Amino acid sequence: MLRPAILTFAALALLQTATSAQYRKTCLVDAGENNATDDALAIISAFKDCGRGGRVVFKPTTYYVNSVMNITWLDDVKVDLYGKLLVRATSIHIVNQSTAFVLGGNKVHINGHGSGTLDGNGDYWYEWIRQQPNTSNYPGRPHAITFNGLRNSIVEGLTFLRSQMWTMSIIYSHYVELDSILVNNTGNRVSSSNTDGADTIRSSHIKFNNWTVYNGDDSLAFKANSTDISITNSRFFNGLGIALGSIGQYKDQYETVERVKVENVHFGNTLHAVSFTFLGLHAADISSSMQKPGLMTRMATRQTAVGADAADMGFTNLETADLRGAAVAISQCTRFSGAPGQGNCTSSQFQIRDITITGLKGTTKSSRVASLQCSAVAPCTNISILDAELEFSNGTVASEYLCGNVKDQKGWECTGEVCVGGSATGEC
């Protein structure tokens, strides 16, 4: 039975539809009585009825999603999510990743109106993963949502709580704006790991604006063939900062990350502001590397024969508070635990070039402004760091710029050798 409050809400939704300039068939998604009902069926059914040219409205209530949803055929749809989806589904596999919810299509506008929430019920996963011998790559640990083939679309006003693993993977997607998104993957019982805010792969023209991310891994990460990406007016806490990479996860395939613009971003207690990581892996490692583990446990570097590059990027007005490591880090030999071999850190074909960082201010706990460990085969070229003013809480200025194999830098001088084979945190 519908309660009066919900009737009022339904009436409101209908009224909105009637008064909108263009009539849209509207489907109001019914929620089951309690957590024993799987609302996934009602949700899929609403998208089937109204997902092409219509509107799908979620009431301000909790929906229990106990099975996976794979909804990739949307076309010109408006989605109003006032309530919360509590996801307890496990996962389906999609291009070597596991995910609980796949969504894709053309001209999709999802609006959470500041209250719409996707809750991954992640506390369970964070505890479970700690009990496993192989914490990094637990099979089937799902991403909260995967946008697959999403085009000309807007996603705004949503909150993501305690994602199972990565929050949002964005693949084969183009011209998507992701605005005013809050991600809070802070565990209630144990801390979370491998809970990236968002990852782009084989996607272009993706705009992140007004994001706030609390997590335990990459705040936002741009991987293989991500181009024309922007991040503006955002805040990242506790994670690793903005990650370009990891690159080099696909055997025999060239990978690029190009034309990235970042402006007005705050980094609170993150490890880095910006980092570039390269992995050259053998085929056997590929699927597990897609389930990229967190900082603690990186896998071995092995070189691929094909090239990769990260180029043409501008970072402007970055503000830090208690950064935990080098603000700008390049590492060509990121390692995951458990994998054999140490790799050769300076022989990768990964070329990083044309990067400009203008305005890097705030506090840090590391003396390193930059730690740039580049390849002897493909040196980093044209790396500018201008107007950097980082200091410890006692006012001492951070002044180290460690580097290896860097050419044509501007705005800074190398103050020492970077430690090859180590992370940029200083524990080499």
Residues that bind ligand NAG (CB under 6 A): 35, 70, 72-73, 92-96, 102, 114, 133-134, 137, 139, 180, 182, 184, 186, 188, 202, 210, 212, 214, 224-225, 250, 253-255, 283, 286-288, 312-314, 344, 346-347, 354-356, 376-377, 382, 392, 394, 396
Kindly tell me which of 22 and 394 has the beta carbon lying closer to ligand NAG.
Answer: 394
Kindly tell me which of 2 and 397 has the beta carbon lying closer to ligand NAG.
Answer: 397
61-83 per-residue burial string, b: 16 or more CB within 10 A, e: under 16: bbbbbbebbebeebeebbbbbbb
- 8 A C-beta contact, residue 159 and residue 112: yes
Half-sphere exposure of 236 (CA within 13 A, CB side): 33
Helices (H), 122-223: 122-130
Distance of closest approach, residue 150 Cβ to ligand NAG, in angstroms: 13
Tokens linked to 46: 């609403």
Distance of closest approach, residue 287 Cβ to ligand NAG, in angstroms: 4
Distance of closest approach, residue 57 Cβ to ligand NAG, in angstroms: 21
Distance of closest approach, residue 319 Cβ to ligand NAG, in angstroms: 17
Kindly tell me which of 8 and 115 has the beta carbon lying closer to ligand NAG.
Answer: 115
d(CA 150, CA 156): 14
Kindly tell me which of 53 and 314 has the beta carbon lying closer to ligand NAG.
Answer: 314
Known active-site residue 408 = no
In the set 30, 196, 217, 218, the catalytic residue is 217
- In sequence order, what are the beta bridge partners of 208? 178, 231
Of 110, 8, 107, the C-alpha closest to 59 is: 8
Helices (H), 112-164: 122-130
Kindly tell me which of 57 and 380 has the beta carbon lying closer to ligand NAG.
Answer: 380
* SS3 per residue for 261-320: EEEEEEEECCCCCEEEEECCCCHHHHHHHHCCCCCCCCCCCCCCCCCEEEEEEEEEEEEE
Of 194, 191, 239, 187, the C-alpha closest to 213 is: 239
Distance of closest approach, residue 311 Cβ to ligand NAG, in angstroms: 8
d(CA 144, CA 212): 17
Between the alpha carbon of residue 259 and those of residues 49, 229, 332, the distances in Å are: 39, 7, 21
- What's the angle, vertex CA 215, arms to CA 211 and CA 221, rounded to 5? 65
Kindly tell me which of 10 and 94 has the beta carbon lying closer to ligand NAG.
Answer: 94
Region of residue 122 (phi > 0: left; psi between -120 and 50: alpha; otherwise: beta):
alpha
First-to-last CA distance in the chain? 63
Distance of closest approach, residue 210 Cβ to ligand NAG, in angstroms: 4
- 8 A C-beta contact, residue 421 and residue 333: yes
d(CA 194, CA 137): 10
Distance of closest approach, residue 6 Cβ to ligand NAG, in angstroms: 20
Non-local CB neighbours of 20 within 8 Å, separated by 6+ positions: none
Kindly tell me which of 16 and 256 has the beta carbon lying closer to ligand NAG.
Answer: 256
Active site residues: 217
